[in-house]
Structure 1
Amino acid sequence: MADNYTQVKDITVNISTAAAAGSVGLGYPLVIEGMAEKAVDYTECSSIAEVVAAGFAAETEVYKACAAIFAQANKPKTVAVCASAGKVGDWLAENGNKGFRQVVPVLGADDSTIAELITAVSALDEKILFATVKSTDAMPEAKSERAVIVVYGGASEYPNAAVVGASAGMAAGSFTYKNLVIAGIAAENLSAAQVKAIHEAGGMCIIKKAGDIVTSEGKTTDGEYIDIVDSKDYIISNIVYQGQKMLNNSNKLPFDNVGISQLENVVTGVLADAYRNGIIASNEDGTPAYSTNFATRAEVPASDRAARTYNGGAFSFDLAGSIHNATINGTIEV
């Protein structure tokens, strides 16, 4: 999430995706250079001019990556930049509590490998790596729902940054990463077999469909849909944040049915927001497909009450998902 705060939390949310099921923003992109000749402090920028003011002139790789982000129609309001004298992976391990979400690496010689970056990003809360390789041969063996890799052999620079720029300005759950319209990046002329091979390797590519330059798929390297990762992160981060705010602003949250109801209301409010964003599906009758089940005080073990720990809250929801492919059958009558 976008807040910078200590990683001590009083609200814990565990969420899993059932096999049958198939507010706070989620942060902003970070363009980071590793093994740089000169370190540049972490700076949040709202324009390409501010990127220059932060220390990255037009000929630098960080500038080029940021330019690709800011060139997109749905660009984010903020992009963070920095340069580290050490490896990108080491910087991430030490600074994972900052407000960035999407990591766009500019890797120097002897810097972290993409496989090492996948490990580093996967160890952090609510971060996701967007990287580029030239071919499927360069795809790392490590797979993660925290890694998106664009396989791109063209001359255009930083297609991964363009994908971030085309998506980071939209609300989580309101879009899918497949068929994102990309500006400033040349499409590759790939056969259906080549595109299939890239997808099977865990990557996406930049191709042309119906005259538009778009992303070919919307999955992470381990095959999860990126919008599902966004959706889970959105719900978790908002319940944690809003629940913590409620505790901060209460002289005391009583361990009775009134206090439990207040906690449940936080969860219900976040789920309602998620439904409005398109994360949660509708039931057949048009009502939101989510539910909560919070144990009453009498149902909570006395040992938990003595420890001032409430473990009786639960919620569930149906993901709205997205249509990525369709078959439409027609009949001609003669």
Structure 2
Amino acid sequence: MPLKDVTVTINIQKSSKLTGLGKPLILAKFTGESTYKNYADPLDVAKDFGADTVVHKLAKALINQGNTAPSKIAIATYDSAAEPAMTAADALRKFYDEDWYFVVSDTQVETEVKAIADVVEGKGVKLHGTTVTALEALTTLKGYNYDRTFAMLHTTVNEYAAEGLIGSVGSRGVGSITWKFKSINGLTPQQVTEDELKDIHALNGFAYVTKSGIPQTSEGKVLSGEYIDVIHSKDWIKINIEEAVQQVFVKNGKISYTDDGITLLANAVKSILKAAFDMGMIAEDSEGSPLYSVATISRVDTPSSDRESRVYNGLSFTFELAGAIHEANIAGEIMI
């Protein structure tokens, strides 16, 4: 991760510059030196990689999603025939700190997909999407219980469901959407029975199906069972609080180890939580007030060892996620 002096840890309890976190990265096999490059048009990808390549098809799936598509994608290359050989996971590690959030790959080899997922899981930030073509592959991935990988089961050849979904949804405002009920350009709805869809959902995967005559995603979860939008929101809040507090350090000549200095840090946190509330990530109470709080420990209550080392550990916050409604059970009554 980039160098920083601020670390935010968020635990999900169930019962400045605002980073968008929407840009996708493609990991692509290519002969030659490993590179990282931005693209805005699939035609430019075709020029560099060829029109019939998987990477070009992935680029089209990501970019050809209408008004909600990302303005740019990135491609990182790896050469598996080089000396020493490089894998997709190696390229991912090399370029992890670049400006992207969602990662996809031109490989569906089970061991390589797992290696990519392991890197993302180990880093603890960003998300990995993959398309599988069989329930067996989804079963294997589910066994790893990944918090940062989601998988769509899609059997139509040369269509990339998870990648198209990232292109359609990933660049929308964090907190403004759920990943269920979403339509994807260029994707064929799958013909699955209710029982087959239950089997897919039981593995925390999902599919692209037709409901009420509308093609749409059947769910929106990562493989651990958490919702994609929850992980996305958590990362947005964490990263933007880190950046906001870092800016306070940079823009002030000195933050004194006083209650006034502590208040400056707390206000930076509050500003991001307020933005998260405005974007729909944080819930509100019955009177419309945001359900978040920020707590601090006064200077007098901090350990002298912390003051000597110039580290403040007394700032914390809590919030309630707004969540989303994914199903409705409605009771009716006929009067005779």
User: What is the percentage of aligned positions where both structures have the same residue?
Assistant: 30
1:325 to partner: Cα distance: 0.3
DSSP-derived class of the 1:113 partner: helix
TM-score, structure 2 length as denominator? 0.92
| Cα distance in 2 for residues equivalent to 1:49 and 1:251 | 48
Match of 1:225 in 2: 227
Match of 1:258 in 2: 260
| Cα distance in 1 for residues equivalent to 2:204 and 2:33 | 33
Contact persistence 1:88–1:112 (CA under 8 A): no
Match of 2:120 in 1: 121
Contact persistence 1:183–1:213 (CA under 8 A): no
Match of 2:293 in 1: 291
Match of 1:96 in 2: 96
Match of 2:270 in 1: 268
1:113-152 to structure 2, matched below 5 A, reads: 113-139=112-138, 140=141, 141-152=143-154
| Cα distance in 2 for residues equivalent to 1:51 and 1:154 | 23
1:186 to partner: Cα distance: 0.2
1:20-31 to structure 2, matched below 5 A, reads: 20=15, 23-31=18-26
Paired amino acid for 2:115: E
DSSP-derived class of the 1:245 partner: helix
Cα 1:82/1:95, change in 2 over 3 Å = closer
1:1-334 to structure 2, matched below 5 A, reads: 7-20=2-15, 23-34=18-29, 36-39=30-33, 41-53=35-47, 55-73=48-66, 74-85=68-79, 86-107=86-107, 112-139=111-138, 140=141, 141-334=143-336
DSSP-derived class of the 2:49 partner: coil
| Cα distance in 2 for residues equivalent to 1:241 and 1:131 | 29
| Cα distance in 2 for residues equivalent to 1:92 and 1:31 | 9
Contact persistence 2:20–2:171 (CA under 8 A): no
Output one character per residue of 1:98-139: Cα deviation in whole Å (capped at 9) or x when no partner.
111111100287x95222221111122422110111111112
Cα 1:269/1:287, change in 2 over 3 Å = same
Paired amino acid for 1:229: I
1:7 to partner: Cα distance: 3.0
DSSP-derived class of the 2:130 partner: strand
Contact persistence 1:173–1:227 (CA under 8 A): yes
| Cα distance in 1 for residues equivalent to 2:254 and 2:133 | 56
DSSP-derived class of the 1:172 partner: coil
**RMSD over equivalenced CA pairs, Å:** 1.7
Match of 1:3 in 2: none
DSSP-derived class of the 1:123 partner: helix
DSSP-derived class of the 2:101 partner: strand
| Cα distance in 2 for residues equivalent to 1:155 and 1:49 | 21
Cα 1:18/1:108, change in 2 over 3 Å = closer
1:38 to partner: Cα distance: 4.3
1:94 to partner: Cα distance: 2.2
Contact persistence 1:289–1:317 (CA under 8 A): yes
Aligned residues: 324
| Cα distance in 1 for residues equivalent to 2:125 and 2:255 | 28
1:59 to partner: Cα distance: 1.4
Contact persistence 2:125–2:235 (CA under 8 A): yes
Any stretches of 5+ residues in structure 1 without a counterpart?
1-5
Output one character per residue of 1:260-305: Cα deviation in whole Å (capped at 9) or x when no partner.
1110011000000100110000011110111111112122122211
Output one character per residue of 1:232-274: Cα deviation in whole Å (capped at 9) or x when no partner.
0000000111111221122111111111111001100000010
Paired amino acid for 1:197: D
| Cα distance in 2 for residues equivalent to 1:81 and 1:147 | 19
Output one character per residue of 1:173-230: Cα deviation in whole Å (capped at 9) or x when no partner.
1110111111110000100100110111221111011222111111001101110000
Shifted more, 92-101 versus 175-184: the winner is 92-101
